[in-house]
Amino acid sequence: MQVEKPRVVQARPEHGARIDELEAVAFAFDPAGRRRVEQVRENEPAIVLVATIGARDVCGTVTASTFWHGRSLNVWILALAVDPRFRRRGVARRLLRALLRCGRALGATRFRLRVPVEDRAAIDLYEACGFARLLTVEDAGAPGRRSHLMVRRSHERRRRPPP
């Protein structure tokens, strides 16, 4: 039996509850981070995409905001969450690719994100999608917890993994 590939679309109001469920799992150890994402979605223009299997089953989501840094439009990736049942199937990669296309269409020159230093799977994913570690910072909302600030220029291509 062939597994259906997820389709990435812009989130609609009916996806809200499922997005909340996915982010609750993704941010289980970072409630302050989840609150920041919710505040951005409520108070600022946000890019929210979902990956769906079939007509309705949301299996992943990505939320980002845009900001100006000098004369350059940047996209800040705030949350990427995939249902545990659909992990390791390319859902996160599809969401990131769609977000990169969306950001480029808006004229973004850079994409930025923060990822906990201990989240090796996420770091590997972002590096495979062309992100590079810029610096490591202490998390203001969680003392003792550190994150990598990662960045990708919009024109960069994905790096090939080492053999």
Which among 137, 124, 131, 130 has a CA at the least distance from the CA of 150? Answer: 131
104, two tokens: 């480029």
DSSP state of 85: G
pLDDT digits (tens, 9 = 90+) for 88-141: 888 999 999 999 999 999 999 999 999 989 889 999 999 999 999 999 988 776
Which among 104, 107, 24, 21 has a CA at the least distance from the CA of 57? Answer: 21
Give me the residue label for tokens 């090796």: 120
State whether CATH 3.40.50.150 applies to domain 7-153: no
For the chain, give every domain's residue range: 7-153
Which among 73, 94, 91, 93 has a CA at the least distance from the CA of 83? Answer: 91
Give this prediction's pTM.
0.85
Strands 108-116 and 7-10, how do they pair? unpaired
Report the alpha-carbon distance of residue 153 to residue 110 in Å, rounded. 4
pLDDT digits (tens, 9 = 90+) for 66-84: 888 888 889 999 999 999 9
128, two tokens: 């495979």
Report yes or no: 62 and 49 within 8 Å, Cβ to Cβ: yes
- What's residue 57's pLDDT? 86
Q: Give the contacts of 7 (CB within 8 A, at least 6 positions apart).
A: 51, 52, 53
pLDDT digits (tens, 9 = 90+) for 7-30: 899 998 888 899 888 988 888 777
DSSP state of 145: -
